[in-house]
Amino acid sequence: MLWRIGPFELDGERFELRRDGAAVAVEPQVLSVLMHLIVHRDRLVTRDELVDSVWNGRIVSDAAISSRIKSARHALGDSGERQTMIRTVHGKGFRFVHDVETALPAAAAAAPAPAAPARPSIAVLPFNLVGVAGQHGVIAEALPHDIITDLSRLRWLFVIARGSSFQLRAVDPDIGQVGSVLGVNYCLTGTIEVIGARLVISVELADTRDRGVIWSDRHNVVADEIHAVRAHISASVIAALEVQIPRHEAQIARLRAPEQLDAWSSYHLGLQHMYRFNQADNAEALRLFEHAVVREPEFARAHGGLSFCHFQTAFVGYAGDSAAARTAARRHAETALGLDSLDPFANFTMGRSLWLTGDVEQGNVWLDQAIALNPNYAQAIYARAWAQTIGGNGAAGRADADSAMALSPIDPLRYAMLATRALAHLVDGEDAEAGIWADRAAVAPGAHVHILVIAAVCQLRAGAADKAQFWATEARRRNPALTQADFFRSFPFSAARPRIAEGLTALGF
């Protein structure tokens, strides 16, 4: 990075200070001090921080630090009296206060931008710190580092390493320049504002191609508790990006002619159709995933998408051969795993394909593997909640359903998470609570016919006969041929089955 301060240029790549183009003689340690102050010019830098950064934590006298500050000022034409460049905050530290412009070094600017990978790609920049954070100043780098580590677990996303993205530190980064230099489609930035004893953490996802903001969020936490909630904040950001980036990729793909869609565009467009859980959209998702596989036969996630769609056909009971759909769901899940055994989505689809044969326990093994590969994978956590509930462990099902909804509040499968929460109460005999959660599930976007049946049974058990009949009638309108056997084929309860069967019979299923 290149920083311009009036007639001076500090070239981070060449580790050189220049005035009007001519090199200024500066000792390396002085230059390191100056660079650290400029990089962190949005906040005060303590003496201890300088020791950690420049002297690697070695014991250094205050006189040695003051000497380097004096030399840095002298190199820039500043002095201890004027302090127009480096200001001393007595008893606390130093702050660089002059206006600074950031730019790319000439060599980097002239170099061709790296080609963005076919899959979505992202750079996470160090967050800007506003105010005096004291001992919490490290969070501006620690939190984005955590996010980079967690994002790297997402097999569908190309994540730029910290060593590169942190070189583009700036108070107001040029998002387009970030995309050009690092060859990425997306950039995540953040600001940490110190307000008394609290920290307000704002994060923003932008598309580097048009500099448009796609998503933003804020977290307000007690400063002294920040390290305890770092993992929660990172998980919340990851879960949001898992929804927001595919959604944005699908919007971009819609603008292209069908014959121009590459494998990744087809895949992301297919995801949007897949999550709508109706027969027409499921068929379109199948077509798009098949197109992706034709374009890229070893695209593990596209095979996972095909498995998901065939699972949906068999699970919901669309017209056609359910046995063939069950077989196809298993076959494509196995193909996805064979191509990328470390992809959480491939493990997720394998686990769900086993539900269709009633082997819920073995399916849990694959769901646990998906969660181990990505602990923030909300849909896999929800799927495990469903399996635990079907097996009669309502408490574990509730806990996982709540975790999934907390991780992904706007997930396309939220209706299923709500329905699982309702079933968990029903399994434990908490009928009134089951009715409340089932109603929320039935009115949620995307709720399919089985969700309506669950709402009908839960409301009947809760003593709300009119509501129960309403949801039963709506379910029959969606699928007049739906039977009790169809429902239990998709929901192979090992517990509470008699109570549910009694309710289905009373409702005419």
Residue 291 in tokens: 């197109």
What pLDDT sits at residue 154? 83
Could you tell me if residue 380 is inside a domain? no
Query: Could you count the other beta carbons within 10 Å of the beta carbon of residue 15?
Result: 12
Are 119 and 249 contained in the same domain? Answer: yes
Of 253, 268, 288, which closes a domain?
Answer: 253
Could you tell me if residue 228 is inside a domain? yes
Residue 181 in tokens: 């230099």
What pLDDT sits at residue 303? 97
Residue 492 in tokens: 């192979």
Spatial distance between the Cα atoms of 281 and 270, rounded to a whole number of angstroms: 9
Could you tell me if residue 278 is inside a domain? yes
Are 218 and 323 contained in the same domain? Answer: no
Are 265 and 238 contained in the same domain? Answer: no
What pLDDT sits at residue 165? 84
Low-confidence ranges of the chain (pLDDT < 70): 1, 103-118, 133-137, 171
Are 447 and 468 contained in the same domain? Answer: yes
Could you tell me if residue 349 is inside a domain? yes
CATH, residue 481: 1.25.40.10
Alpha-carbon torsion (25, 26, 31, 35), positive or negative: negative
Residue-wise DSSP of 215-248: EEEEEEEEGGGHHHHHHHHHHHHHHHHHHHHHHH
**What are the b/e assignments for 403-442, b being 16+ CB within 10 Å?**
bbbebbeebbbbbbbbbbbbbbbbbbebbebbbbbbbbbb
Residue with tokens 């076959």: 331
Angle at 392 between CA 506 and CA 360, to 5 degrees: 100
Of 253, 271, 290, which closes a domain?
Answer: 253
What pLDDT sits at residue 53? 80
For residue 61, what are the contacts with CB-CB under 8 A and spacing of at least 6?
Answer: none
Spatial distance between the Cα atoms of 189 and 148, rounded to a whole number of angstroms: 12
Residue-wise DSSP of 269-280: HHHHHHTT-SHH
Model confidence pLDDT, tens digit, residues 20-63: 888 898 898 899 899 889 888 878 888 888 888 888 778 888 89
Spatial distance between the Cα atoms of 224 and 22, rounded to a whole number of angstroms: 47
Are 441 and 480 contained in the same domain? Answer: yes
Spatial distance between the Cα atoms of 170 and 101, rounded to a whole number of angstroms: 9
Are 205 and 91 contained in the same domain? Answer: no
Note whether 55 and 67 are within 8 A (CB): no
Residue 456 in tokens: 């009908």
What pLDDT sits at residue 445? 87
Domain limits for position 358: 256-375
Q: Is residue 238 packed enough to be buried (19+ CB in 10 Å), middle (13-18) or exposed (0-12)?
A: buried
* DSSP one-letter code for 234: H
Residue 509 in tokens: 């299923």
Are 96 and 121 contained in the same domain? Answer: no
Count of structural domains within the chain: 4
Note whether 221 and 199 are within 8 A (CB): yes
Angle at 206 between CA 379 and CA 381, to 5 degrees: 10
Could you tell me if residue 381 is inside a domain? no
